[in-house]
Structure 1
Amino acid sequence: MSSSVNINFEDYLQVSQLYADYARAVDSGDWDLWPEFFTEDCIYKLIPRENHERGFPLATLFFESKGMLKDRVYGIRETLFHDPYYQRHVVGAPLIHKADNNRFESEANYAVFRTKLSQESTVFNVGRYIDVIERTPEGLKFSSRHCVYDSEMIPNSIIYPI
């Protein structure tokens, strides 16, 4: 797959800033920020690499609208009981595979570290984002974000967005 796409520097900078802002938001613990990175009719999937590569639809998390993301935020804050933890995203530079005036198809590697209170930090989830980004009046937004994680073994609960 070729990653050489004719894209101007300003567009590349905006896509890179979207990735950085997203990581900062989901690491901040202010969950109301998360859905605002997406269009109304978005798709968010957390899916194992094997299922993604084989075309299997089964995903660990699968949301089909911004409203579903907001429901998840409500669940994180109000209904899910778990040991609190911090997470920290490290996101690689995005590779833009397709671009036009209003839409980008891109991907970036990610690693998420988790720190539980009074414990050492551990690698929590590693993979790549496969994204479709749209230009909107409010700026760039994800219309599709597939978080394709590498390991078949994941913690028994993924509470916060990846």
Structure 2
Amino acid sequence: MTIDFQTYFELLNLYSDYAMAVDSADWEKWPDFFVEDGTYRLQPRENFEQGLPLCLLALESRAMIKDRVYGVKETMYHDPYYQRHIVGTPRVISVEGGRDADTIHSEANYVVVRTKYDGESTVFNSGYYRDVIVRTPEGLKLQSRLCIYDTEMIPNSIIYPI
């Protein structure tokens, strides 16, 4: 269950590039981190640990992720804010496909800090990612990203990607 340095470096870049894209509000880049049938879900830790399927948000394809981008940019009215992801070093849980690491199962802790334009920075959300990452001709992509957040208490609502 080991991967070579090059593959791990690609994994680190995937995590950091993802955080930078969503923190810079470059929403059009967000779907590109996923394969066509990739999934993105936000689930409270309590539901995850009890095996309950209920999620706050469940996007079942890159097309649905693109639709969410449209919603964030064009249809949702909200008090705008900046966000900053602090993502821990990913931990490789398992690898399929030998040295080429065709599929990587990994986890990483995250904290999202939210700053309103006229306010303080506060911790908005914390938890961990549970990811399935696949190798594609374009590099590593997310097959699934499950954001397991620590508390069921969400201030206001989650507009931007975690």
TM, length-normalised to structure 2: 0.96
SS of 2:68's equivalent in the other structure is helix
Match of 1:58 among 44, 54, 61: 54
Q: Within 5 Å, which residues of 2 pair with 1:77-116?
A: 77-100=73-96, 101-116=101-116
Letter of the 2:120 partner, please give it.
E
Q: Which residue of 1 aligns with 2:155?
A: 155
**What's the CA shift string for 1:14-56, capped at 9, x where partnerless?**
1011000000000010100100000000111000000111111
CA distance in 1, matches of 2:67, 2:31: 10
Task: State the distance in 2 between where 1:6 and 1:45 align.
Answer: 27
For the residues of structure 2 that align with 1:123 and 1:148, how far apart are their CA atoms?
Answer: 16
Other structure's SS at 1:39 match: strand
Amino acid aligned to 1:118? D
Counterpart residue number, 1:146: 146
Whole-angstrom CA distance in 1 between matches of 2:2 and 2:55: 33
| 3-state secondary structure, aligned to 1:45 | strand
User: For 2:2 and 2:68, how far apart are their aligned partners in 1?
Assistant: 37
TM-score (norm 1): 0.96
SS at 1:88 equivalent: strand
2:152 alignment partner, SS class: coil
Aligned residues: 158
* In 1, Cα distance between equivalents of 2:156 and 2:48: 20
Q: Are 2:16 and 1:20 aligned?
A: yes
Secondary structure in structure 2 of the residue aligned to 1:119: coil
Q: Letter of the 2:27 partner, please give it.
A: W
CA distance in 1, matches of 2:126, 2:160: 14
Offset, 1:99: 1.2
Q: Counterpart of 2:38 in 1: which secondary structure?
A: strand
What SS does the corresponding residue of 1:25 show, helix, strand or coil?
A: helix
2:40 alignment partner in structure 1: 44
Q: CA RMSD in A?
A: 0.7
Deviation at 1:133, TM superposition (A): 0.1
Question: Which secondary structure does the structure 1 equivalent of 2:84 belong to?
Answer: strand
State whether structure 2 residue 3 is matched by structure 1 residue 7. Answer: yes
* Overall identity of the aligned pairs, in %: 61
Q: Map Cα deviations across residues 58-104 of structure 1 (whole Å, 9 max, x no partner).
A: 10110000000000000001100000000000000000011133110
User: Which residue identity lines up with residue 41 of structure 1 in the other structure?
Assistant: D
Deviation at 1:151, TM superposition (A): 1.0
**In 1: Cα distance, 2:30 partner to 2:115 partner:** 20
The correspondence for 2:68, drawn from 64, 68, 72, is: 72
Which 5+ residue runs of structure 2 have no aligned equivalent? none
- Gap regions ≥5 residues in structure 1: none
